[in-house]
Amino acid sequence: MSKLKITAKELRTIGYPESPVIPVAMNAMEKHYKHNTKEEVMGILKAVLASPIEYKNDAVLGMIAEKLLPKEDVGEPEISLNNTGVHFNTFGAEHIEQGAFHQMYSAVKLPIAVAGALMPDAHHGYGLPIGGVLATDNAVIPYGVGVDIGCRMCLSIFDIDAKELTNREQYFAREINEATLFGSGAMFKQADDHEVMENEAFFSTPLLKGLHGRAWKQLGTSGSGNHFVEFGAVTITEKDEILGVEPGNYIGLLSHSGSRSLGARIAEHYTKIAISKRRLPQDAKNLAWLNMNEEAGMEYWIAMNLAGDYASACHHIIHAKIAKQLGRKPMKVVENHHNFAWKEMLDGKEVIVHRKGATPAGKNVLGIIPGSMTADGFIVKGKGEVASINSASHGAGRKMSRTQALANITHNALKDELAKFGVKLLGGGLDEAPFAYKDINEVMQSQTALVDVVGKFTPKIVKMDGTQPKQWKKGKPE
């Protein structure tokens, strides 16, 4: 096998900034990944660039990630956290790991914090925990929103008997495979057209102008990790006025993905600015904020909303492609997003509500809360519970990290679980196996005060990114 060789030009082509990261990346990959193919190595480097935080603790890739992550400006005075934070309510505390609580305790001690809540699917993240909700006074926290800005669920309900998913499984599997691309660096050679690409916000700052071309090529793609497109059976047992679908069994098309590279670059750019402006204690540094009346805060707000619109457009393109192939218009489309910040009223005052992996659940607001690749998901209607800041969980939540899942779950166990529930999996990996997730029914039981269930979605054909994690490429035993 020829010796692995990477050039600085190749790294710049895929978006790597100039020194000091390029020499570090070249050296690390040529030394530690010399037995991998060039294609594999470039794929890994793209993944690190897209989300360096995920690789921060990796023995080798962490050296690259460190150079890509925002650096705090030690010249600024450190901002002290309040001794006692504002109150936050917790739902399903018995399902939540201590790391998430620790992060939430830090968040509610911020000088800008107004109120908080922790959802039953919560687990440790960066900045706010996943499943954390934080209301702030005239300030937005880029890592309180998250890297995958505007990540969302979208469900199309078709008036087709769900038995067709079994009778014509190959047909429906083909339609999913042809409708989108998966993978952190996935791009179409021929981009789709959508009005979001003409949004004037794309031309409002040098950052967004520079991201326009790549965003267009990724329009309609689905990413990696826990993102999916799947067909399943939708069951409506009684009619709900807000949902407006008659009782029955239907085919549902459910997708989960976000704003791709666009959102990640926005998050990293403005987090770097926030950290330079507000130096916080080490445990809380990723909670650095931007004021809404300063230029960077206003820029971020525009960029965040653009990323949200872009994520929505990606879903609509996928659903429109499949609806066209089915020859049917959906009876109903339900869509909701998380990893976002909203201007809302709380106790008579306008606040900025961050929902990091939490579903909006205002009065009569519809949403989808998925389980796993084999567990049921739920169509819900919000109750407008102030104690949760009008929020609910965004899924079942992880009970195993990806590393733990890869180390403890076997391919045979996953295969048996899929067979048990009659699910056809296209792609996917052990890090997304059902065993890595909490019991969705227990999570839903913990938030009966927050949402009403108005329908159920049972997965049948699931498409996810099929790229194997590098540990398994290197032959790690099951």
In 277-348, which ranges are E strands?
290-291, 332-337, 340-346
Judge if 38 and 162 occupy the same domain. no
Judge if 58 and 154 occupy the same domain. no
pLDDT at 76: 62
Q: Which helix (H) or strand (E) holds 118?
A: strand 113-123
Query: Which of 27, 44, 68 is the last residue before a domain boundary?
Result: 68
Query: Are 135 and 352 a contacting pair, CB within 8 Å?
Result: yes
Tell me which of 188-192, 301-305, 325-329, 428-432 is least confident: 188-192
Judge if 31 and 180 occupy the same domain. no
* Residue 273 clears pLDDT 60, i.e. is over it: yes
Tokens of 415: 């295969």
Q: Which of 22, 24, 20, 19 is nearest to 8 (CA)?
A: 22
Please state, in angstroms and rounded to a whole number, the distance separating the CA atoms of residues 35 and 393.
Answer: 42
Please state, in angstroms and rounded to a whole number, the distance separating the CA atoms of residues 396 and 394.
Answer: 7
Judge if 63 and 188 occupy the same domain. no
Tell me which of 30-39, 272-281, 304-313, 358-367 is least confident: 30-39
Query: Are 360 and 339 a contacting pair, CB within 8 Å?
Result: no
Please state, in angstroms and rounded to a whole number, the distance separating the CA atoms of residues 245 and 222.
Answer: 28
Q: How would residue 75 be classed by pLDDT, with cut points 50, 70 and 90?
A: low
Residue 302, in any domain of the structure: no
For 180-241, where are the alpha helices, taking DSSP H only? 206-218
* Residue 66 clears pLDDT 50, i.e. is over it: yes
Q: Half-sphere exposure (CA, 13 Å, Cβ side) for 428?
A: 23
pLDDT at 5: 83
Judge if 396 and 253 occupy the same domain. yes
pLDDT at 468: 61
Residue 29, in any domain of the structure: yes
pLDDT at 107: 96
Count the domains in the chain: 2
Q: Return the DSSP state at 257.
A: E
Judge if 58 and 180 occupy the same domain. no
312 Cβ partners below 8 Å, 6+ apart?
A: 150, 152, 154, 196, 335, 337
Torsion sign over Cα 438, 61, 184, 298: positive
Average pLDDT over residues 6-29: 82
Residue 400, in any domain of the structure: yes
Beta bridge partners of 424: 461
Cis peptide, bond prior to residue 20, ω within 30 of zero = yes
Q: How would residue 475 be classed by pLDDT, with cut points 50, 70 and 90?
A: very low
Tokens of 313: 């457009």
Residue 461, in any domain of the structure: yes
pLDDT at 471: 44
Judge if 156 and 61 occupy the same domain. no
* Residue 19 clears pLDDT 70, i.e. is over it: no
Residue 247, in any domain of the structure: yes
For residue 434, the enclosing domain spans 150-259+313-328+364-473
Tokens of 455: 């329908």
pLDDT at 352: 98
CATH number, domain at 210? 3.90.1860.10
Please state, in angstroms and rounded to a whole number, the distance separating the CA atoms of residues 402 and 281.
Answer: 28
Better-predicted residue by pLDDT, 236 or 282:
236
Please state, in angstroms and rounded to a whole number, the distance separating the CA atoms of residues 233 and 231.
Answer: 7
Query: Which of 50, 68, 86 is the last residue before a domain boundary?
Result: 68
Residue 174, in any domain of the structure: yes
Judge if 247 and 384 occupy the same domain. yes
Average pLDDT over residues 341-355: 97
Q: How would residue 270 be classed by pLDDT, with cut points 50, 70 and 90?
A: very high
473 Cβ partners below 8 Å, 6+ apart?
A: 36, 40
* Residue 470 clears pLDDT 70, i.e. is over it: no
Judge if 246 and 371 occupy the same domain. yes
CA distances from 290 to 45, 174, 299 (A): 30, 45, 10
Residue 252, in any domain of the structure: yes
What rounded mean pLDDT belongs to the chain?
92
Question: Model confidence over 90-147: pLDDT tens digits?
Answer: 999 998 989 899 999 999 999 999 999 999 999 988 889 999 999 999 999 999 999 9
Query: Are 368 and 377 a contacting pair, CB within 8 Å?
Result: yes
Q: Which of 122, 142, 377 is nearest to 256 (CA)?
A: 377
Q: Half-sphere exposure (CA, 13 Å, Cβ side) for 264?
A: 22
* Residue 190 clears pLDDT 90, i.e. is over it: no
Please state, in angstroms and rounded to a whole number, the distance separating the CA atoms of residues 24 and 48.
Answer: 13
pLDDT at 388: 98
Q: Which of 371, 374, 465 is nearest to 417 (CA)?
A: 374
Q: Other C-beta atoms within 10 Å of 295: how many?
A: 10
pLDDT at 147: 94
Judge if 318 and 197 occupy the same domain. yes
Tell me which of 41-45, 163-167, 337-341 is least confident: 41-45
pLDDT at 469: 52
Instruction: Work out whether strand 152-158 and strand 332-337 pair parallel, antiparallel, or are unpaired.
Output: antiparallel
Query: Which of 30, 46, 68 is the last residue before a domain boundary?
Result: 68
Helix, strand, coil share of the chain (percent; to 5): 40, 25, 40
**Phi and psi, residue 346, nearest 5°:** -140, 120
Residue 301, in any domain of the structure: no
Tokens of 182: 């998966």
Please state, in angstroms and rounded to a whole number, the distance separating the CA atoms of residues 442 and 380.
Answer: 15
* Residue 318 clears pLDDT 90, i.e. is over it: yes
